[in-house]
Amino acid sequence: MTDRVLGVLGGMGPLASAEFMRQLTLLTPAERDQDHIPAILWSDPRVPDRTAARQGRGPDPLPALVRGIRGLEAAGCGAIAIACNTAHGWIDGMRAATHLPILHIVEAAAEALRLQGIGPGPVGVMGTAGTLAMGLYQQGLEGDGWAVSVPTEEEMARLVSPGIALVKANRVAESYAPLAEAARALAERGARAVVLGCTEIPLGIAAGPALPFPVVDTIEALALAAIRWASPDAARAAA
Amino acid sequence: MTDRVLGVLGGMGPLASAEFMRQLTLLTPAERDQDHIPAILWSDPRVPDRTAARQGRGPDPLPALVRGIRGLEAAGCGAIAIACNTAHGWIDGMRAATHLPILHIVEAAAEALRLQGIGPGPVGVMGTAGTLAMGLYQQGLEGDGWAVSVPTEEEMARLVSPGIALVKANRVAESYAPLAEAARALAERGARAVVLGCTEIPLGIAAGPALPFPVVDTIEALALAAIRWASPDAARAAA
């Protein structure tokens, strides 16, 4: 049993947060309730849209993100996982507002690439327009030797952004076709793996046939990072 | 958008809590993140085992339950849903400790029976040994004209209790056979519907073929009760 309590800043979107909690549970070696990791999920879907803010079309999400972090601090959490890739664009502001460690989803995705044996070379990254414009994955992965390719503007407008919106509107099954087409396009242009760098995308991709190339589910990757934080011994045993 | 924040007392077990958050999301009419219900999930799997406490074999869970409720109050929640049937055996103690309304899972299950058109008459209830010994469903349903039948002691020991434990140990697929056998036995003895009165049981029953008689998923029933609380207008629109 661990006494480390994980704080999960979520609701962006709420289905991805629920899936994060599910993966956190299923990936933890456990025989009974009391073996699982205590966690508080702050699921606040009212956080202003991150991509709209990045594009100057909406309010700053930072105050709402910091409000969630303060709530998780008050609840006794020892670290924060943020179940939304785009929100990581405000991580400097969040880190300045808390003494708690924040597990970074791009570092978790890099670890997942390593565990899948994907060494330096071309990898594709799908994400929101905000995540891609901020270069979160380009900056986070290129220092380690991966060369990041992203969907074209046409693919973003026709496939990726609508696919993400379908998941947020609870139309998960319909999101598979556009999201899978965008992933296949990246693989056809040379990506050896595709990082599903928006927490809605793995939900859509799971709703249809498995893709014939490696993908990184950033919900699962962040859950594994949280398990390593909460119970280093258990994470070793599962590896 | 609603400004009512739902508090979810969970972790008993954590997989059921994640499923509750998933159902809460999928059953809410929503087009985008900001249409979903703000919620805080207090997932504390360290709460002492409820059935063991009821049987005098373990510590009282009430202090841990009240700690969670205090945390949800401090986080700004306006009502509490408890994603564990057996924990409702301590609802008087919890209600004495908070001014917040607590949505009762047995009332939610009764509403689900009504919505499925299951009128007065025999219904089966599966649950933990603690839930059945405390008579939570017998008391909650018999006043409304349902006659509750429960698994035999032999079925509890051989099928239901081991099935629940398998879900808590992340062995969901294996739990289907024993849980489905116990449900079928209740139907064969005359139950017109079977209430899955432990939040682990619907997870197991969902892992195999659908049963050929009505069942009440108490996770879904509680999620619908929470949606009715959070946004009465949206709940009406979905009905």
Cα–Cα distance, A9 to B40 (Å, whole number): 10
Q: pLDDT over 90 for what percent of chain A? A: 93
Exposed, middle or buried, A139 (CB in 10 Å: 0-12/13-18/19+)?
A: exposed
Q: Do B14 and A24 touch (CB under 8 A)?
A: yes
The structural architecture, per CATH, of the domain A106-218 is 3-Layer(aba) Sandwich (3.40)
Q: What percent of chain B lies above the pLDDT cut of 90?
A: 93
Mean pLDDT of B24-30: 96
Whether residue A238 is predicted with pLDDT greater than 80 in this model: the reply is no
Q: Which of B25, B40, B45 sits opposite A38 (nearest CB)?
A: B45
A95 pLDDT higher than 70: yes
Each residue of A26-48: b (16+ CB within 10 Å) or e? ebbebeebbbbbbbbbbbbbbbb
The ipTM estimated for the assembled molecules is: 0.95
Is the pLDDT at A201 greater than 60? The verdict is yes
Interchain pair A42, B75: CB under 8 A: yes
pLDDT of A237 reads: 55
Any bridge partners for residue B126, and if so which?
A: B196
Q: Which residues contact B116 (CB under 8 A, 6 or more apart)?
A: B193, B214, B216
Helix ranges (H only) for A4-45 are: 14-26
For residue A101, give every residue at least 6 positions away whose Cβ sits within 8 Å of its Cβ, in sequence order, or none: A78, A79, A80, A229
> In the CATH hierarchy, which fold is given to the domain comprising B6-104+220-238?
Rossmann fold (3.40.50)
| Assigned CATH topology for domain B106-217 | Rossmann fold (3.40.50)
| pLDDT score recorded for residue B29 | 94
Instruction: Give the pLDDT confidence of A122-158 residue by residue, as tens digits.
Output: 999 999 999 999 999 999 999 889 999 999 999 999 9
Same fold, B6-104+220-238 and B106-217: yes
- Looking at residue B144, what is its pLDDT? 86
Given a cut of 70, whether residue B160 has pLDDT beyond it is yes
Mean pLDDT over all residues of chain A? Answer: 95
Beta strand ranges found along chain A (DSSP E) = 6-10, 39-43, 79-82, 102-103, 121-126, 146-149, 194-196, 215-217
- Is B235's pLDDT higher than 60? no
B122/B118 Cα distance (integer angstroms):
9
Q: Which stretch of DSSP H or E encloses residue B82?
A: strand B79-82
Q: What is the pLDDT of residue B238?
A: 53
Residues 2-21 of A with CB under 8 A from B: 3, 11-15, 17-19, 21
Residues 148-207 of B with CB under 8 A from A: 165, 168-170
Which residue in B4, B100, B82 sits closest to B43, CA to CA? B82
B122/chain A closest Cα distance in angstroms? 32
Residue A3: the pLDDT is 76
B71 touches chain A (CB under 8 A): yes
What is residue B3's predicted lDDT score, i.e. its pLDDT?
Answer: 76
B24 touching A, CB under 8 A?
yes
Number of residues assigned to chain B:
239
Q: Tell me how far apart the alpha carbons of residues B56 and B49 are, in angstroms, rounded to a whole number.
A: 11
pLDDT of A37-86, one tens digit each? 999 999 999 999 999 999 999 999 999 999 999 999 999 999 999 999 99
Q: Using CB atoms, which residue from B25, B40, B165 is nearest to A170? A: B25
pLDDT band at A232 (very low <50, low <70, confident <90, very high): low
Q: Please give the Cα distance from A152 to A184 (Å, whole number).
A: 13
Q: Where are the domains of chain A?
A: 6-104+220-238, 106-218
CB neighbours (10 Å) of residue B151?
25
Q: Is the pLDDT of residue B2 over 70?
A: no
Confidence of residue B234 (pLDDT cuts 50, 70, 90): low
Determine, for residues B25 and A1 on separate chains, whether the beta-carbon distance falls below 8 Å: no
Summarised one tens digit per residue, pLDDT across range B185-212 is 999 999 999 999 999 999 999 999 999 9
Q: With pLDDT > 70 as the criterion, what percentage of chain A qualifies? A: 96
**Where is average pLDDT lowest: A115-119, B11-15, B81-85, B143-147?**
B143-147
Q: Is the pLDDT of residue B237 over 80?
A: no
Q: Quick one: average pLDDT of B53-78?
A: 97
Q: What is the pLDDT of residues B113-133, one digit of tens each?
A: 999 999 999 999 999 999 999
Phi, psi of B61 (to 5 degrees): -80, -10
In contact, A41 and B18? CB cutoff 8 Å: no
- Residues B201/B163, Cβ–Cβ less than 8 Å: yes
Residue B186 has which token pair?
A: 């209740």
Nearest to B38 among A1, A46, A75 (CB): A46
Residue B62 in this model has a pLDDT that exceeds 80: yes
Amino acid at A26: L
* Helix or strand run (H / E) with residue B121: strand B121-126
What's the pLDDT band for B236 if we cut at 50, 70, 90? Answer: low
